[in-house]
Amino acid sequence: MAIPMKFICDDNLGKLAKWLRTLGYDTLFFDPIQDGELVTRALKEDRVVLSRDTQLSRFKFKLGEDLLHIESDKPLNQLKQVIEYFKLKPNKKLLFSRCSVCNQPLEKLEKDIIKDKIYPYVYKTQDNFVRCPKCDRIYWSATHVEKMTKTLSEHRII
Ligand SMILES: [Zn+2]
């Protein structure tokens, strides 16, 4: 099986970074970040640079195919461009497997452990909980997940 692609977004592309993480792709994003540092990290960690900033094309000689200039201002169109350009096939099983805020893979949680941390209504109505080991956010399949899934399928991304 091919190793999944990893990305680093420039500091204009925070929303794109969140969408890529939502799809399960390991995606770094720092705001702000110097161009030089971004390129160094990309090379060191074997990441593809996604950039809205044409200035970064001066690093093309270093990055080669691992640099994509993002055309649109709209996050979902940006996501589509990345998926189409690299012929990615997002895996539904990896959807919501990574924290959209800090890029960490999420861990499954037994719901009894978090009973005191969540609203009783959520505890009663939800069964699948995951937690980010870094920021401690707890996620569950509530309506926002359904909404995001709907948005992705409307844009024919999943
Ligand atoms: Zn997190």
Q: What is the pLDDT of residues 125-158, one digit of tens each?
A: 888 889 999 999 988 877 778 888 999 999 999 8
On whether the CB atoms of residues 47 and 66 are closer than 8 A, the answer is yes
Centroid of ligand 1 to alpha carbon of 154 (angstroms):
26
Centroid of ligand 1 to alpha carbon of 62 (angstroms):
31
pLDDT score for 139: 87
pLDDT score for 38: 97
| Average pLDDT of the chain to the nearest whole number | 93
Mean pLDDT of 93-109: 93
pLDDT score for 27: 98
pLDDT score for 3: 78
**Whole-number Cα distances in Å, 129 to 9, 22, 37:** 28, 15, 36
Q: What is the pLDDT of residues 60-82, one digit of tens each?
A: 999 999 999 999 999 999 999 99
Centroid of ligand 1 to alpha carbon of 107 (angstroms):
11
